Amino acid sequence: MAKFQVIVTKGEYEPWWFFEDWQKDIESSFVYTEKSDAMLQYQALAQELMATYPNNAVKKKCVTGNLVGG
């Protein structure tokens, strides 16, 4: 059975840099058996962060679904 995770990390570096000990920066983790459930959680978290931090950038070909800027 497939396992899909949504992991929230916090760090002082760009989010695409994952160093050896990146797991220590995990603030929360969500595990799902269905990809659609994981995507819903991801989208909810992304919307929350975008509302909290209005100055943001989203890559054009990012898995953001219907997010603004995605």
Asked if pLDDT for residue 62 goes beyond 70, the answer is: no
Count of domains forming the chain: 1
Whole-number CA gyration radius for the chain: 13
Asked if pLDDT for residue 49 goes beyond 50, the answer is: yes
Q: Catalogue the E-assigned strands of the chain.
A: 4-9, 26-32
Asked if pLDDT for residue 23 goes beyond 80, the answer is: yes
Asked if pLDDT for residue 18 goes beyond 80, the answer is: no
> Within a domain: residue 62?
no
> Within a domain: residue 60?
no
> Within a domain: residue 69?
no
> Within a domain: residue 67?
no
> Within a domain: residue 61?
no
Instruction: Please indicate whether residue 44 or residue 69 has the higher confidence score (pLDDT).
Output: 44
Average confidence (pLDDT) over 43-68: 77
Give the domain range for residue 38: 4-52
> Within a domain: residue 38?
yes
Asked if pLDDT for residue 67 goes beyond 70, the answer is: no
Residues forming a β-bridge with 29? 7
